[in-house]
Structure 1
Amino acid sequence: MTQWWRGGVIYQVYPRSFQDSNGDGVGDLPGIISRLDHIASLGIDCIWLSPITKSPQADMGYDVSDYCEVDTLFGSLEDFDTLIEQAHARGIKVIMDQVISHTSDQHQWFQESKFSRTNSRADWYVWADPNPDGSPPNNWPAVFGGSAWEWNGTRGQYYLHNFLISQPDLNFHNPAVQDAVLDVLRFWLERGVDGFRLDTVNYYFHDKKLRSNPPDPKVLKGPHAPSPYEWQVHEYSKSQPENLDFLRRARALLDEFPGSTSVGEVGDSHKSLDLMAAYTSGGDRLHMCYGFDFLGPQFTAHHFRSRIERFFKAGPDGWPCWSFSNHDVPRHISRWAAHAVSLPALARQTLALVLSLRGSVCLYQGEELGLPETELLFEELTDPRGIRFWPEDKGRDGCRTPMPWTVGEAPNGFTTGTPWLPVKPAQSALSVASQAGDANSTLAFYRRVLAWRKTQAVLALGDIAFFDVSEPVLAFRRTLDGQSMLCIFNLSAGAHQLTLAGLPAGAVLEPVSESAAITGRSLQLGANGYAFVALDAETTLSVAIST
């Protein structure tokens, strides 16, 4: 099936923290291979492998110094080949991170580009002359703090870096750069990978005139965000229209490898849904995109409904990939804890919710254990963002701590050495082994609900239509080929009773429903309760909270 990704479930593996095989405290490819049976037991369709290519690790692999070599920290190309082979033997696809908006400053391309203004790669990065007073050419800030421009005395110019100073941005306005990065994608496709997660996919192009960004009026009216990056509308530094033509070139390459797919990361707080829709519409661009709309603190029915409806209004034939957690944000179990009667109840409800939305799904390693965010001391941090903006922004280390595998003391089978980040008691207590034999565990629930969803084509591919219901209830129905599924979620720690007008007599709850009961046309939902009811597509319903 060439469109396995449509409605599929992807499991993100963060290699540094999954399983260490050699005792150096950092996870690696042989470690992932040794844990493939655990991944397979979840019933997912695909692994997303965070960066494993050669890197100085200034940004944990998102600063690439050689696109076609595996970093020795993680293993070898032979280990990668074995991982692909072993995953495919278990019916699991593998997509890998590709960070092509920028490289490490140690990359050969940049080493040559910075040497002079006349060498063969002089225009492969974004270089600009200073203003008459020597200042940078415009006001663009870097995500990780400071100006996005760094001075190079050899060339007598500034270069652009949207992230760390050691992560110079490639110049996608140069066709040779586009050709080079497409050659990188081809290298891995020919090696057997099933596609790519494309990092910062809307950062590829910048405004050729280097116009300054305007301020964000919302920020000016309110309290300042921790980073000045959030004080601007990034109208010119990213999300440029030229991106669409490059995405068409990337899709044409992927289409040469039937069954391959692409997931683009869209980072733009002002128009991420519109960009997601534009980047996945038409069948000639990316297969899927995700943004950060569900990776923040908002946990309301209005928020979920409005984001989904806006996406499909902007691109009816586009396709999203929804996720609640990943390696860049605090784990959702902790972000949304204020809305939960308990963290396990929230873990169950949020899995049921993300699996019932229209789109594909990405789960982050450790979700299946109900892992909360790890509380770290400043001296335990490794993330440059957290180190720079502490304590207002504690960075990304809290969601990146190692997977706990075995019962007992930390690091719970992750490594025989000292882990690169600590395993704290809250995570240690939720190890895979401690949950494996418990039918009521979060891990058992994940396996059960993922298996159930595989039998529900309506949830993978069906249309979605929302009911007008008051907070905190989110209600919608999915419809496909004459069948529909009613999906209702109580997004609160209090109980609610609903009236389901038009519900057929004898309607029953699907077995994965939680803290829910139907009596006639009345539905009782306990704290963080939710209900699934299979219906005929012709059934006319209304949903309301009972007074």
Structure 2
Amino acid sequence: MEKNPDWWRGAVIYQIYPRSFQDSNGDGIGDLPGIAARLDHVARLGADAIWISPFFTSPMKDFGYDVSDYRDVDPMFGTLADFDALVARAHDLGIRVMIDLVLSHSSDRHPWFRESRASRDNPRADWYVWADPRPDGTPPTNWLSIFGGSAWAWDARREQYYLHNFLASQPDLNFHNPEVQAALLEATRFWLERGVDGFRLDTINFYFHDKNLRDNPPLPPEERNDRTAPKVNPYNHQMHLFDKSRPENLEFLRKFRSVLAPYGAAAVGEVGDAERGLQIMAEYTSGGDKVQMCYPFELLQPARVSAEALGRTFAQLAAEAPDAWPCWSLSNHDVVRHVTRWNLGPAAVRGWLVLLLSLRGSVCLYQGEELGLPEADVAFEDLQDPYGIEFWPEFKGRDGCRTPMAWRRDDEQAGFTTAARAWLPVAPAHLPLSVAAQEGEAGSLLEFYRAALAWRRAHPILSQGGMGAPTVSGDTFAFTREGPGGSCLFCIFNLGDDPAPLDSPAGSWRDIAGDLGGVAPGTRTLPGWGFAIWAGA
């Protein structure tokens, strides 16, 4: 593909959860050949790139986010040759390939950890975060795991605790050790040499911990929220000052960017921080020497985002880092699908998509989002996710957004697998929303997504232009997009169910979104979830 170091700027990235996209060998689990066979769908949708969640060798305690070999494909998903074929097919279709790098922690079955835990004086003894207990035998700090309980696990071999911000089987690597950084950067080069165009960096702000092992202070009850962890998780009770988001991370990200540069590759980081997410995104993407993009959790939170809240988000962005580059998303593999999470009707789903495509930044779409798939209701006995099993029933985990992709409506397995049963059950409610059911159907959500992505591509100002300060009035959210030569778009969205007044800006305008349902210049009222996007005439 064409070498363009700025390909990521304004790109639409389609996230693929490999276990659930397409099974090619009848074992009930999606795989790399299955992804390659379905890339025509992504190309027809109009996405610029795919992001593939982890497919590395793994014991699958956290479904690939526990890596035991950074340089190989788990046999469940195929082989390195299958990955190479996938990259070649994607590039033939004009689609760039991003893969998920999980650098903050590995599996406890990784050879590095097996060696590290063997003794206190082996060559990799300091590759993970080890600490002695307090005098009373308790963990060295009060840090908590996102998956519940203490973030420290006792190891009898070393008679020390090791840090795990997630499962106990996911020990944290010690980024204060230069050898660890060098090994991870070499793993990054391995995939760049195989032709990948970029990376999604899992838990990018978890790389470093406080070397002095200071306790986190409590977070006042009135400041707690559930944007990083479920409400029932005590993780929300702390101000996470010392277990993550440490300043040393900036220098590592500069090193990481220098590895990407010769390949024209890009990275988008996941910022998991409920208190300082936008500030961290600003730090990590500003200056042109760290990662190109981060995605914050502002549009992934449980409560539907109001126009007022969206206005506050952009005001904070403008104040803290006007040159930061966000990557916006409404759904992913870790949150309840937004159709269900926000209880959105058809008009609201369409309105949110057009808004997402109109904001300054890049965009991530999650597989099945283009079909309007609701969250699947997975019975407890069918759960796979350890997070949901731990906090059931108040929090049902992430399986409901990870069920198999719906390709066909005339098959109980939705065309995903020839097996009698998929790794997670196919939701019966997804069958009438399948690709086959919506393909070529005027008015279907799939065709709307295709039209909306083509519309964004036809107006480069949406992906490349600047953005004026938004204004909020009741449920309406309005802003301008600004391009070269004084070109300008006026964008206004009604984020409520009831009609809202549309105060037209001065000047002469022409409608550019009428084919998507946008209202024309001169209109005085926006319907519920309506929008207008006008170009200066």
Same fold by TM-score, threshold 0.5 exceeded?
Answer: yes
Instruction: Tell me the SS of whatever aligns to 2:314.
Output: helix
Pick aligned residue for 1:489 from 493, 497, 516: 493
Instruction: Tell me the SS of whatever aligns to 2:14.
Output: strand
Q: CA RMSD in A?
A: 1.6
Q: Does 1:532 align with 2:537?
A: no
- After TM superposition, list the pairs within 5 Å mapping 1:15-414 onto structure 2: 15-218=18-221, 225-258=231-264, 260-296=265-301, 297-337=303-343, 340=344, 342=345, 344-414=346-416
Instruction: Tell me the SS of whatever aligns to 1:460.
Output: helix
Instruction: Tell me the SS of whatever aligns to 2:263.
Output: coil
| Superposition deviation, residue 509 in structure 1 | 5.0
| In structure 1, C-alpha distance between the alignment counterparts of 2:487 and 2:224, rounded to whole Å | 48
| In structure 1, C-alpha distance between the alignment counterparts of 2:342 and 2:183, rounded to whole Å | 42
Q: Tell me which moved more, 346-355 or 159-168.
A: 346-355
- Alpha carbons of 1:515 and 1:483: their partners in 2 closer, same or farther (altered >3 Å)? closer
Q: Tell me which moved more, 374-383 or 508-517.
A: 508-517
Amino acid at match of 1:112: E
Deviations 1:257-299 (A, max 9, x none): 12x1001111010101010010011111001111211101232
- After TM superposition, list the pairs within 5 Å mapping 1:422-437 onto structure 2: 422-437=425-440
Contact 2:475-2:500 within 8 A present in 1 as well: no
Contact 1:323-1:363 within 8 A present in 2 as well: yes
| In structure 2, C-alpha distance between the alignment counterparts of 1:389 and 1:263, rounded to whole Å | 29
Q: Tell me which moved more, 168-177 or 370-379.
A: 370-379
Deviations 1:312-358 (A, max 9, x none): 32122221111111001011111121xx4x2x222211110110011
Contact 2:337-2:374 within 8 A present in 1 as well: yes
Aligned length: 528
Q: Tell me which moved more, 114-123 or 326-335.
A: 326-335
| Superposition deviation, residue 170 in structure 1 | 0.1
Deviations 1:25-77 (A, max 9, x none): 11000100110100100111100010000000000100000000100010000
| In structure 2, C-alpha distance between the alignment counterparts of 1:183 and 1:274, rounded to whole Å | 29
| In structure 2, C-alpha distance between the alignment counterparts of 1:366 and 1:276, rounded to whole Å | 27
Amino acid at match of 1:333: V
Work out the percentage of aligned pairs sharing the same amino acid. 56
- Alpha carbons of 1:467 and 1:103: their partners in 2 closer, same or farther (altered >3 Å)? closer
Amino acid at match of 2:536: L
| Superposition deviation, residue 513 in structure 1 | 4.1
Contact 2:452-2:516 within 8 A present in 1 as well: no
| Superposition deviation, residue 375 in structure 1 | 1.5
| In structure 2, C-alpha distance between the alignment counterparts of 1:512 and 1:372, rounded to whole Å | 26
| In structure 2, C-alpha distance between the alignment counterparts of 1:221 and 1:250, rounded to whole Å | 33
| Superposition deviation, residue 499 in structure 1 | 2.4
Deviations 1:417-472 (A, max 9, x none): 11111112221110000000202100000111100110111111212124533221
Amino acid at match of 2:272: G
- Alpha carbons of 1:493 and 1:221: their partners in 2 closer, same or farther (altered >3 Å)? closer
Contact 1:513-1:531 within 8 A present in 2 as well: no
Question: What residue is the counterpart of 1:11 in the other structure?
Answer: 14
Point out where structure 1 has 5 or more consecutive residues left out of the alignment.
537-547
Contact 2:13-2:47 within 8 A present in 1 as well: yes
| In structure 2, C-alpha distance between the alignment counterparts of 1:480 and 1:113, rounded to whole Å | 54
Instruction: Tell me the SS of whatever aligns to 1:347.
Output: helix
TM-score (norm 2): 0.96
| In structure 1, C-alpha distance between the alignment counterparts of 2:515 and 2:354, rounded to whole Å | 8
Instruction: Tell me the SS of whatever aligns to 1:334.
Output: helix
| Superposition deviation, residue 514 in structure 1 | 2.1
Instruction: Tell me the SS of whatever aligns to 1:528.
Output: coil
Q: Tell me which moved more, 462-471 or 181-190.
A: 462-471
Amino acid at match of 1:427: H
Q: Does 1:468 align with 2:437?
A: no
Contact 2:29-2:423 within 8 A present in 1 as well: yes
Pick aligned residue for 1:448 from 448, 451, 465: 451
Point out where structure 2 has 5 or more consecutive residues left out of the alignment.
none
Amino acid at match of 2:299: F
TM-score (norm 1): 0.94
Instruction: Tell me the SS of whatever aligns to 2:528.
Output: strand
Contact 2:293-2:325 within 8 A present in 1 as well: yes
Q: Tell me which moved more, 441-450 or 375-384.
A: 375-384
Contact 1:517-1:524 within 8 A present in 2 as well: no
| Superposition deviation, residue 105 in structure 1 | 0.2
Deviations 1:349-400 (A, max 9, x none): 1110110011011110111111111112211211111111112111111111
